[in-house]
A and B are shown apart, each in its own frame.
Chain A
Amino acid sequence: MHGVTDTLQIIKRNVKRNFRIPQLLIFSSIQPIIFLLLFNYVFGGAVRGTGSEKYINFLLPGILAQTALFGAIQTGVGLAEDLSKGVVDRLRSLPIARYAVLTGRTVADAVRNVFVIILMSVVGSILGFRYHHGFGNFMLAILLVLFFAYSFSWVSAIIGLLLKDSETVQVAGFLWVFPMVFASSVFVPVETMPSWLQVFARNQPVTQVVNAVRHLTQNVGSSEAVLHTALWASGIIVIAAPLAVWLYKKTV
């Protein structure tokens, strides 16, 4: 089977893309830093009493999840761009495994997310973030965020294949990612929301991943969230990945 080497070649190409196009790098690194600074210093004072002494300890797990999700939008954007530029046609005319174009894209975006998550952790620690549940759990938290983002990359790939235009995909990306990020425990405790919204906010996967990261880094809340996140991410991949490959095969 050539699937693995095909995927590796596509990963190589996409990683080069992610790191050689300056606006992409800025988008994925400067923007989350700005978010972190803004939320920490603008809202930090107002949102006290969040369970940890410092807002940054509450905020960073949320921002990590948010950054990873925004990164996932780029999977669909990049795919749509390759479709419209004819790159996908070129790849499809080669005798390569059909899924390689998609796995190569999602894995390359995960590689970029590794870079961004490390950067965010460094900036977070400069702002005063500290983990209080051991280094091992901190690493587990980062892996969990990456795994979670990887599953959303596949959802994003589906959107990219359906909409086929990179700008539309970008806009649509914010439409589905924003409600998930804001109606969650990313920035504020869910208990402060109206009860009808709490039903959604409590049960959606973004809250699970954020609670899991808070548990693993701050030793607050229950460890159940870790399991829930892993289940959510696995479930999303099991459904979204075959659907994306199927869509890719029949995309004109």
Chain B
Amino acid sequence: MKNDNAIEVRGVSKHFGSLKALDDVDLTAARGKVTGLLGPNGAGKSTLIRVMTTLLEPHSGTVFVDGVDVLKTPAKARKHIGLAGQFAAVDDFLTGRETLEMVARLYHLPRKEAKQRAAELLDRLDLTEAADRQTKTYSGGMRRRLDLGASLVATPSVLFLDEPTTGLDPRTRLQLWDIIRDLVKRGVTILLTTQYLEEADALADYMYVIDHGKMIAKGTAEQLKSSLGQDVIELKVADKDLQKAREALQKALKQEVEEDELTRRLLLRTKNGSDDLLTAAGALKKASIKAEELSVHRPSLDDVFLAITGEKAEK
């Protein structure tokens, strides 16, 4: 099954009791690319990752990673797989260097090579200075980097990153993005789960959206955005004018206007962004409502996500 797909998942189902965690899921990830797996909490992202990384056996379906049958020969598959989890499985009481050397030894590198490999990764992940401190003194970002380092020890051809940046500050997140991009340059195939849509937008070449254990959409960011086929007009007015503005727009454009309860903005989906923007501006002027902000934009991944999962994306 050696082909251009580094990951091939076919018809995978897994249930816990009566809960269908995964329901006939398909997924393929192109070699050397970043594939994003998006979905709200509890959608099945982590379950699917655990199936693909030999940690969990599905009730049905097939999984191939790098051409190796994961379900039939898990031990063989593990040699191709790197996994960095959302919990950053790093031992508090070991130093960064000890952690990487242990993992290298568990990949059966000889002692000397294990030491070299650990030093090299510490350097690449900018952890050399902290290498000989116990990791309980590390910051969240450092722990993530060390965890990532542990998954890179054996230079895996396929790397699974389960929410690698959840809970990190923006600067540290950008730092991790750089590391991920660098890995892609070295030819690693990456499967990334995330709750941050801008992260998927920035990193993933292709993405899958999963909800309630089912794949509900797939495509490039552009394809997903244009699948909505619509621009979004966004309007912000003073709160007291909100209802009035809504009615005026609905009348002028003869269509439903949504209100984003979180930001108190009015949203209007349209096929004809710029024309409708002018109409909307005219209608507001006629009703003498002052717009604080009025804009038209292409749908963001957030918009796509909201539209297809039918609920607020969790931030």
Contact in complex: A17, B105 (CB < 8 Å): no
A89 CB contacts on chain B under 8 angstroms: 50, 55, 83, 85, 87, 89
Determine whether B79 belongs to the interface, using a CB cutoff of 8 Å to chain A: yes
Determine whether B166 belongs to the interface, using a CB cutoff of 8 Å to chain A: no
Q: Which single member of B78, B93, B94 contacts A93 (CB below 8 Å)?
A: B78
Contact in complex: A92, B93 (CB < 8 Å): no
A93 CB contacts on chain B under 8 angstroms: 53-55, 78, 81-83
Interface centre among A5, A86, A91, A93 (most CB of B within 10 A): A93
Contact in complex: A91, B106 (CB < 8 Å): yes
Q: Which residue of B lies closest to A12 (CB)?
A: B102
Assuming the contacts A9-B105, A16-B98, asked whether A90 and B75 have C-beta atoms less than 8 A apart, the reply is no
Interface size on A, residues (CB 8 A): 22
Contact in complex: A95, B89 (CB < 8 Å): no
When chains A and B are docked, how far (Å) is the Cα of A17 from the Cα of B136? 12
A90 CB contacts on chain B under 8 angstroms: 83, 85, 89, 103, 150
Contact in complex: B105, A94 (CB < 8 Å): no
A13 CB contacts on chain B under 8 angstroms: 91, 94, 102
Determine whether A42 belongs to the interface, using a CB cutoff of 8 Å to chain B: no
Assuming the contacts A5-B105, A91-B106, asked whether A86 and B89 have C-beta atoms less than 8 A apart, the reply is yes
Contact in complex: A21, B93 (CB < 8 Å): yes
Contact in complex: B85, A20 (CB < 8 Å): no
When chains A and B are docked, how far (Å) is the Cα of A210 from the Cα of B49? 50
Determine whether B291 belongs to the interface, using a CB cutoff of 8 Å to chain A: no
Q: Which single member of A17, A86, A96 contacts B87 (CB below 8 Å)?
A: A86
Determine whether B56 belongs to the interface, using a CB cutoff of 8 Å to chain A: yes
When chains A and B are docked, how far (Å) is the Cα of A17 from the Cα of B106? 17
A21: shortest Cβ distance to chain B, in Å? 6
Q: Which residue of A lies closest to B56 (CB)?
A: A252
Q: Which single member of B75, B88, B93 contacts A95 (CB below 8 Å)?
A: B75
Contact in complex: A92, B54 (CB < 8 Å): yes
Contact in complex: B106, A96 (CB < 8 Å): yes
A92 CB contacts on chain B under 8 angstroms: 54-55
Interface centre among A9, A17, A21, A95 (most CB of B within 10 A): A95
Q: Quick one: CB contact mask for A78-117 with B, threshold 8 Å, 1 for yes? A: 0000000111011111111000000000000000000000
Contact in complex: B105, A95 (CB < 8 Å): no
When chains A and B are docked, how far (Å) is the Cα of A86 from the Cα of B86? 9
Contact in complex: A20, B106 (CB < 8 Å): no
Interface centre among B50, B53, B108 (most CB of A within 10 A): B108
Q: Quick one: CB contact mask for B85-123 with A, threshold 8 Å, 1 for yes? A: 101110111100010001101111000000000000000
When chains A and B are docked, how far (Å) is the Cα of A94 from the Cα of B81? 8
Name the interface residues of B34-54: CB closer than 8 Å to any CB of A. 50, 53-54
When chains A and B are docked, how far (Å) is the Cα of A6 from the Cα of B78? 15
A88: shortest Cβ distance to chain B, in Å? 8
Interface centre among A9, A16, A90 (most CB of B within 10 A): A90
Q: Quick one: CB contact mask for A176-201 with B, threshold 8 Å, 1 for yes? A: 00000000000000000000000000
Q: Which residue of A lies closest to B114 (CB)?
A: A9
A96 CB contacts on chain B under 8 angstroms: 106
Contact in complex: A94, B78 (CB < 8 Å): yes
Contact in complex: B83, A9 (CB < 8 Å): no
Contact in complex: B79, A95 (CB < 8 Å): yes
B140: shortest Cβ distance to chain A, in Å? 15
Q: Which residue of A lies closest to B88 (CB)?
A: A86
Determine whether B230 belongs to the interface, using a CB cutoff of 8 Å to chain A: no
B91 CB contacts on chain A under 8 angstroms: 13, 17, 87
Contact in complex: B94, A16 (CB < 8 Å): yes
Q: Which single member of A5, A86, A95 contacts B85 (CB below 8 Å)?
A: A86
A112: shortest Cβ distance to chain B, in Å? 14
A91 CB contacts on chain B under 8 angstroms: 106
When chains A and B are docked, how far (Å) is the Cα of A20 from the Cα of B102? 17
Assuming the contacts A17-B91, A89-B55, A89-B83, asked whether A95 and B102 have C-beta atoms less than 8 A apart, the reply is no
Q: Quick one: CB contact mask for B257-273 with A, threshold 8 Å, 1 for yes? A: 00000000000000000
A30: shortest Cβ distance to chain B, in Å? 19
Provide 26 A-B residue pairs closer than 8 Å at the C-beta atoms, listed in order of the A residue.
A2-B108, A5-B108, A9-B102, A13-B91, A16-B93, A16-B94, A17-B93, A21-B92, A21-B93, A86-B85, A86-B87, A86-B89, A89-B83, A89-B87, A90-B85, A90-B89, A92-B54, A93-B53, A93-B54, A93-B81, A93-B83, A94-B106, A95-B78, A95-B79, A95-B108, A96-B106
Which B residues are within 8 Å of any A CB, using their own CB? 50, 53-56, 75, 78-79, 81-83, 85, 87-89, 91-94, 98, 102-103, 105-108, 134, 150
Sorted nearest first, the 4 A-B pairs with minimum C-beta distance are A86-B89, A86-B87, A20-B93, A90-B89
